[in-house]
Amino acid sequence: MGLRGHKTAVVSSGLAVRFLVALMGPTHVAFPSHWVRGIVTPAEGGQDGHVTWANASYERTDLARRLTIQAKGVTAETRIVLYANEQRSRSFAVDKVVGLIDVERTLIQPLPAQFRGGERERLLGLFVESSYIALIANPFWVLELPSRTNVLDVFALRVSERRPGEFDSRLRLPSAALEEASAMSAGSAK
């Protein structure tokens, strides 16, 4: 099972956070991957507002609308991300899955102070890639849970704890979804 969209942004012995990067409208949005439970097609998602996958139910949320992003609408590249922690689960549509990326903690920048509105609750910060700037969605906000301070520290992995070539053992996506995400992201993620 190869995840061709996977990329390590930097090699260091420090802390890193793994993100699932997706396109929503023109915006690259990054989600801490620890809470990604799966990626399915809209057809697999069902029509009743819930997605049931691997015996778990995920309530649909219109994340693009909540983020005030104009999404493209359903295309062949649209996918439903299943996102959950121990307390709550949600599913939401993205226009395209770009891939997984490990970003060194020190390369994650906070949202500049000039942003003063509700975006400060929705977005934790950003990181700069060669071909895009990714905005980091607050995973607690995504799941409609009370936020907390130092959110990203919850998701930080010590890079040296992983063996070469080892993916995040906490990221347990349905294998079919992973293969599909790999195929989709092969052309866009480096």
Partner 1 sequence: MLRTQLGRQPHKGSKGATEARMQHMVVFSVGGQRLAARTEEIGGVMPWTGSTAVPSDTPFVRALVRQEKGCLPVFDLAAKFKRSLQDGEPLCLVVKHVDGPLAICIDSQVPSLHMVARSAVQYRAGNDPDIAGTCIAGEEELPIINLTTLGVSSNRPA
Give residues in contact with partner 1 (CB under 8 A): 26-28, 67-69, 109, 112-119, 122-123, 126, 128, 132-133, 135
Residue closer to partner 1, measured from CB, 114 or 169: 114
Cβ 161 to partner 1 shortest distance, Å: 26
Cβ 61 to partner 1 shortest distance, Å: 15
Tokens of 33: 């991957």
| Cα dihedral: 111, 117, 123, 129 (round 10) | -40
Q: Which H, E and C letters describe 31-85, residue by residue?
A: EEHHHEEEEECHHHHCCCCEEEECCEEEEECCHHHHCCCCCCCCCCCCEEEEEEC
Residue closer to partner 1, measured from CB, 111 or 159: 111
**In which element (H, E) is residue 5 found?**
none
CA distances to 20, 40, 80 from 46, rounded to whole Å, are 22, 10, 10
Cβ 128 to partner 1 shortest distance, Å: 6
Residue closer to partner 1, measured from CB, 117 or 165: 117
Residue closer to partner 1, measured from CB, 67 or 152: 67
Cβ 26 to partner 1 shortest distance, Å: 6
Cβ 46 to partner 1 shortest distance, Å: 27
Residue closer to partner 1, measured from CB, 26 or 49: 26
Cβ 92 to partner 1 shortest distance, Å: 14
Looking at the chain, list the stretches that DSSP marks H as alpha helix, in order from N- to C-terminal side: 42-45, 63-66, 119-122, 139-142, 151-155, 175-185
Q: What letter represents residue 180's amino acid?
A: E
DSSP 150: S
Residue closer to partner 1, measured from CB, 4 or 105: 105
